């Protein structure tokens, strides 16, 4: 049941990204990339092949719709691979805890660190691949900063509202 | 051998990650080069239909402005026609028209933009014309206000257009009041302005001069408006950059025309002939 709900949310976020969030273009370059919550929603499993493949194709679908070659796939796959290391680093979890791991039940400070780190790495990778040269590095950094703030505000607002609904 | 299997066992996730990442990079590099971007693009029938459906809903909200724009274009064309018929009526007939004088060189195919993009460094548009409308790669795409791009991938019902807001885009352009020509490029910063390079230094430029297409290539007909000179950087040096303010608002596009050149094959063959 829980897995089906996660799957549905991932699909909803994909359409939200393609239809709404990709068209915001606030001051030309700044866009929220809420689809990064795929990384936070996807359940932790021992076998990581499924997760890596899913992340790759999830990014590829976005590339398909936004004519960007493979930049979403490459950057989403990158953070997908390093997710486990960040979970170990920020939450101090072992292999045994993976099955019961849930972001909602963790302390907000740790979740905040984890989400912010992954988002910034993903956005930096995304914008530098879009730029694809060492020129204009200051623009890449500025875009990363602004878009990350945009994404993070949306993500935390969304997860707060949805979590509240679950409790009642 | 055992060591090797052990190595693969230990690093299997990392190797899998590297493998997928390499595929992604290959796709990115393919996307940047002109003729290779076959696999991942929004001109496929799945994504094309998807954008087409969502656009048909959005269109209702823009009908008013679109109508006004089309009326405006009609007005300009009507005025031109009136002037032309006047000049034909009053000019004394001094020569007999040959058959070749009346031959049409360009024809236009009307279409619609399904997906507009101006945010990235390498921007592409998706249009609802394809092989069924006898489109081929490297045809010019314009609208009533100016040029938009060049077709790149042509599929059955949709095609992908490389926007002039693409860092790889190079279009022949010239000044309206003289015949000096240069190359229109984009630096990826502002979607309202493009850059004109390689204009000879003796060309006299003023802010506000109109830039039109040059007609040196067989893609755009000569004289389609592009924009006006906004400012000139490095005025007196070899690295002179002329910033052009586009007539089009690239963030708000709907109706387009694709230019079909009947003489294209002849021109291409002529340029292929050897120099000796």
B167-222 pLDDT tens trace: 888 899 999 888 888 899 998 888 889 999 888 888 888 899 999 998 777 888 88
Q: Which residues of B touch A49 (CB under 8 A)?
A: 13, 16
Q: Which residues of B touch A51 (CB under 8 A)?
A: none
Q: Which residues of B touch A78 (CB under 8 A)?
A: 21
- Quick one: average pLDDT of B84-94? 69
Q: Which residues of B touch A69 (CB under 8 A)?
A: 27-32, 37, 40
Q: Which residues of B touch A134 (CB under 8 A)?
A: none
- If one compares A39 and B54, the residue with the highest pLDDT of the two is A39
Q: How many CB pairs under 8 A join A and B?
A: 99
- Quick one: average pLDDT of B246-271? 87
B240 close to A (CB below 8 A): no
Domain ranges of chain A: 2-167
- Work out the minimum CA distance from A75 to partner chain B, whole angstroms: 9
Of A88-92, B37-41, B73-77, B128-132, the range with the lowest mean pLDDT is B37-41
Buried b (16+ CB within 10 A) or exposed e, A48-81: beebbebbbebbbbbbbbbbbbbbbbbbbbbbbb
**Whole-number pLDDT of residue A52:** 93
**Whole-number pLDDT of residue B276:** 63
For tokens 């724009």, name the residue: B69
A interface with B, Cβ–Cβ < 8 A, is 19, 25, 28-29, 31, 48-49, 52-53, 56, 59-60, 63-71, 73-74, 77-78, 81, 129-132, 136, 139
**Whole-number pLDDT of residue A168:** 47
Of B1-15, B94-108, B247-261, the range with the lowest mean pLDDT is B94-108
Would you state the structure tokens that stand for residue A153, as one six-digit string? Answer: 């505000």
Among A28, A44, A45, A67, which would you mutate to test the B interface (most chain B Cβ atoms within 10 Å of its Cβ)?
A: A67
Cβ–Cβ of B119/A25 closer than 8 Å?
yes
CB-CB: which of B30, B42, B119 is closest to A31?
A: B119
CB-CB: which of A29, A81, A139 is closest to B119?
A: A29
Q: Which CATH architecture has domain A2-167?
A: Orthogonal Bundle (1.10)
Q: Which residues contact B238 (CB under 8 A, 6 or more apart)?
A: B201
Cβ–Cβ of B117/A67 closer than 8 Å?
yes
Q: Which residues of B touch A65 (CB under 8 A)?
A: 42, 47, 50-51
CB-CB: which of B14, B31, B117 is closest to A69?
A: B31
> Across chain B, what does the average pLDDT equal?
85
For residue B258, name the pLDDT band (cuts at 50, 70, 90).
very high
Q: Which residues of B touch A127 (CB under 8 A)?
A: none
Q: Which of B191, B189, B169 is nearest to B34 (CA)?
A: B169
CB-CB: which of A25, A65, A77 is closest to B42?
A: A65
For residue B273, name the pLDDT band (cuts at 50, 70, 90).
confident
Q: Which residues of A touch B31 (CB under 8 A)?
A: 67-70
Cβ–Cβ of A81/B31 closer than 8 Å?
no
Of A3-7, A103-107, B166-170, B196-200, the range with the lowest mean pLDDT is A103-107
B126-172 pLDDT tens trace: 999 999 999 988 899 998 888 999 998 888 889 989 999 988 888 99
Cα B166 to chain center, whole Å? Answer: 9
- B39-262: CATH class: mainly beta
Percent of chain A with pLDDT over 90: 47
- If one compares B31 and B75, the residue with the highest pLDDT of the two is B75
- If one compares B267 and A112, the residue with the highest pLDDT of the two is A112
Torsion angle (degrees, nearest 10) of CA B251, B164, A125, B24: 120
B145 close to A (CB below 8 A): no
Residue in B with minimal Cα distance to A73: B24
- ipTM of this predicted complex? 0.89
Cβ–Cβ of B119/A65 closer than 8 Å?
no
- Work out the minimum CA distance from B222 to partner chain A, whole angstroms: 30
CB-CB: which of B40, B118, B189 is closest to A63?
A: B40
Torsion angle (degrees, nearest 10) of CA B13, B18, B21, B22: -150
Q: Which residues of B touch A66 (CB under 8 A)?
A: 42, 117
């Amino acid at each position: 049941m829980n897995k089906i709900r996660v799957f549905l949310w991932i699909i909803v976020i994909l359409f939200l990204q393609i239809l709404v969030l990709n068209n915001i273009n606030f001051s030309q370059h700044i866009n929220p990339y809420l689809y990064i919550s795929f990384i936070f929603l996807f359940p932790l499993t021992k076998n990581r092949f499924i997760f890596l493949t899913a992340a790759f194709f999830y990014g590829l679908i976005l590339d398909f719709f936004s004519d960007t070659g493979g930049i979403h796939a490459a950057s989403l796959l990158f953070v997908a691979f390093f997710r486990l290391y960040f979970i170990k680093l920020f939450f101090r979890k072992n292999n045994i805890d993976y099955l019961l791991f849930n972001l909602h039940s963790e302390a907000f400070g740790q979740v905040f660190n984890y989400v912010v780190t992954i988002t910034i790495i993903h956005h930096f990778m995304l914008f530098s691949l879009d730029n694809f040269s060492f020129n204009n590095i200051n623009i890449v950094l500025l875009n990363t900063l602004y878009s990350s703030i945009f994404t993070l505000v949306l993500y935390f607002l969304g997860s707060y509202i949805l979590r509240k609904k679950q409790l009642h | 051998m055992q060591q090797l299997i052990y190595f693969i066992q230990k690093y299997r996730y990392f190797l899998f990650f590297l493998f997928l990442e390499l595929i992604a990079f290959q796709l990115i590099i393919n996307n940047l080069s002109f003729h290779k971007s076959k696999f991942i693009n929004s001109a496929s029938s799945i994504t094309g239909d998807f954008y087409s459906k969502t656009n048909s809903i959005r269109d209702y909200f823009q009908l008013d402005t679109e109508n006004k724009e089309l009326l405006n274009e009609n007005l300009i064309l009507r005025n031109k026609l009136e002037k032309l018929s006047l000049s034909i009526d009053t000019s004394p007939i001094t020569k007999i028209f040959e058959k070749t004088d009346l031959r049409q060189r360009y024809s236009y195919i009307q279409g619609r933009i399904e997906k507009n993009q101006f945010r990235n460094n390498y921007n592409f548009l998706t249009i609802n014309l394809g092989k069924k409308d006898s489109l081929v790669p490297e045809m010019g795409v314009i609208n009533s206000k100016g040029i938009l791009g060049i077709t790149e991938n042509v599929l059955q019902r949709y095609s992908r257009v490389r926007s002039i807001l693409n860092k790889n885009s190079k279009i022949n352009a010239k000044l309206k009041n003289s015949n000096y020509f240069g190359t229109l490029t984009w630096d990826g910063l502002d979607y309202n302005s493009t850059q004109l390079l390689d204009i000879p230094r003796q060309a006299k430029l003023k802010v506000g001069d109109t830039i039109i297409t040059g007609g040196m290539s067989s893609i755009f007909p000569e004289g389609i408006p592009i924009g006006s000179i906004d400012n000139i950087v490095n005025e007196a040096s070899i690295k002179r950059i002329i910033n052009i303010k586009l007539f089009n608002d690239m963030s708000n596009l709907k109706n387009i025309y694709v230019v079909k050149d009947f003489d294209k094959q002849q021109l291409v063959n002529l340029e292929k002939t050897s120099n000796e």
